[in-house]
Every structure is written in structure tokens, then in C-alpha cells.
Amino acid sequence: MLRRVVLLGVAAVLALLSAMAVVVYARGADRRAVEGKQGTWVLLATATIASGTTGAQIRSRRLVRQVLMPAETVPSGALTRLDPALDGKRLNADLAPDQMLLSRQFEEAAKPDAEPTATFRVPPDRLAVSVQLGIAPQVAGNVKRGDRVAVFLTVPKQETETTPQRTSVLLPRVTVLSVGESAEPGPSSIVVQPSGAAAVMSTVVPTPAAGATEQLTRYVVTLAVTTGQAEELVNGYNRGLLHLGLLGAEATVTAAPSAAVSGAAG
């Protein structure tokens, strides 16, 4: 038993000495290859390294080895060591085994897309509320950012009710934050037609017969309102028809309801 243990120990020592001899020979071969020439240590990939691998990952996974090569054969930008400055950079292409590492193979990691900036600024004491309107309710599309407008609400007469249609001032004076146009889907056209208590958007495929139809692109208007005004605006939008009135420099609008109009909405 003791003899077997001794034999195993001797075998282990011989294996270690053999491995060391191989390393020494390999380094000696490197030095012999540059004997009489100026040598430079470079980094070679020990295995395939995928594009996008960071310098930190290459170091932690030991994916490179140092090799001494004649300086005259080493291209410009060859890396002699993995500098910590490369930790956050990524390879811009795959590296094959024994391929030399070059500084130009590393790029800054792509930064995440910046969050889109708001297209308008909301006053500190206001809310931004958007409603979708046609061109006519926006003073023929002439309402723009920064305008002061009055918001009118028309509640159509219902067939089962005796109360006539009535238009009233919903918000006497508010500021427009933005005006945007909704995209048209494909070759079809968007036509806005009043129907009931809300504007209805229908799709019309252009034909010779439908070519004469007036095409009104829908718009979205964002207004700066208080909390109470926001509730009135949202309720009014879902209850009836909204119209904007563009205020002149000296115009004043009160919240008193206007005269009633008999009959249903046209």
C-alpha cells in the first residue's frame, strides 16, 4: 500500500515537472523566434469570442493569452494587455481562436435610447388634457399652440327627451398646449361626420364616386386646465360635441348658456 502511494506521488511530481518544461519550452520558442529582433507581447484569443463581449468579460473568462512576437510583424493598435479602460467596451466583431486583439476592435457600449422629450411644457398649476376634434370645431384648423380658446359644449336632443338641443360655454378661457394631426391609415381617407352626441370617424376608400366627399382629417388638441376644468372637459367630450372658439385680444366669454336650438343635431 505504501509503495503504491509513493509511486503515485512520484508520478504526480513527474507530471508537474513535465508541464513546467512545456511552458518553459514554449516561452523559449517565443524568445527564439524573436532572437536578434525587438520583441513585443501581444494578446491572442484562446477561443472564439463573440461580438459584444466586454473587456471585463474577456478578462474574467481568461479568453486571451500573451504571446511574444517580433515587433516588426505586429500591426498598429495591437493590445499588449487588457487595460481596465476596456472593461466597459464591447467587441464590434467576432474573434477567431489565435486572432490578435486590436484596440479598434473595441467600441463604447451602445447607450439606451433617451426618453422622448415632451412636445410641450405643462404649467405647474395645470393639467394637460387632450380631446380629439375635427377641423371645423378647431376654427377651421387655425388653432395653434399658445392660443387662448373658449370651449363650447353642445348636447344634442335625444329622441326620447323633450329637452331641446342646447349649447353652453364649458370653459371660458384656457390655453392650447399642442395641436396634432392623427395619421391616415393606408390609402383610405378619414371622414368626420357628426352623429348623435359625438363625432364619428368613418373610413372611405377613394373611388370616383367618393372622390367628391369632403375629407376632414381628425386632430388632437391638448389644453392646460385645472382639476375641475379637466373633469368638465372629459365629461363634456363624452357627453356631447365640443367646439373651440379662438379668443381675440379683448374678447371675454362668460359661462352662461346660450339660447336653445330646437330639433336634433344635424
Identify whether residues 123 and 247 lie together within a single domain.
yes
Whether the predicted model's global pTM rises above the 0.75 cut: no
Identify whether residues 233 and 124 lie together within a single domain.
yes
Structural domains counted in the chain? 2
Answer yes or no: is 227 within a domain: yes
Identify whether residues 48 and 123 lie together within a single domain.
no
Identify whether residues 250 and 229 lie together within a single domain.
yes
User: CA Rg, the chain, in Å?
Assistant: 39
Answer yes or no: is 69 within a domain: yes
Identify whether residues 57 and 160 lie together within a single domain.
no
Identify whether residues 102 and 126 lie together within a single domain.
no
Q: Indicate the residue among 57, 79, 108 that finishes a domain.
A: 108
Average pLDDT, rounded, for the chain: 74
Question: So what's the pLDDT on residue 151?
Answer: 92
Question: So what's the pLDDT on residue 83?
Answer: 87
Answer yes or no: is 92 within a domain: yes
Helices marked H in 124-249 — which ranges? 227-239
Q: Give which of 109, 95, 30, 102 is closest to 61, Cα–Cα.
A: 95
CB atoms under 10 Å from CB of 163, counted, come to 9
Answer yes or no: is 2 within a domain: no
The percentage of the chain sitting over the pLDDT mark of 90, rounded to a whole number, equals 26
List, in sequence order, every beta strand (DSSP E) within the chain: 39-45, 64-70, 89-91, 106-108, 127-133, 148-155, 165-181, 189-195, 198-204, 219-225, 241-246, 260-261
- In this prediction, residue 100 has a pLDDT band, given cuts at 50, 70 and 90, of very high
Query: Distance between alpha carbon 132 and the CA centroid of its chain, in Å?
Result: 24
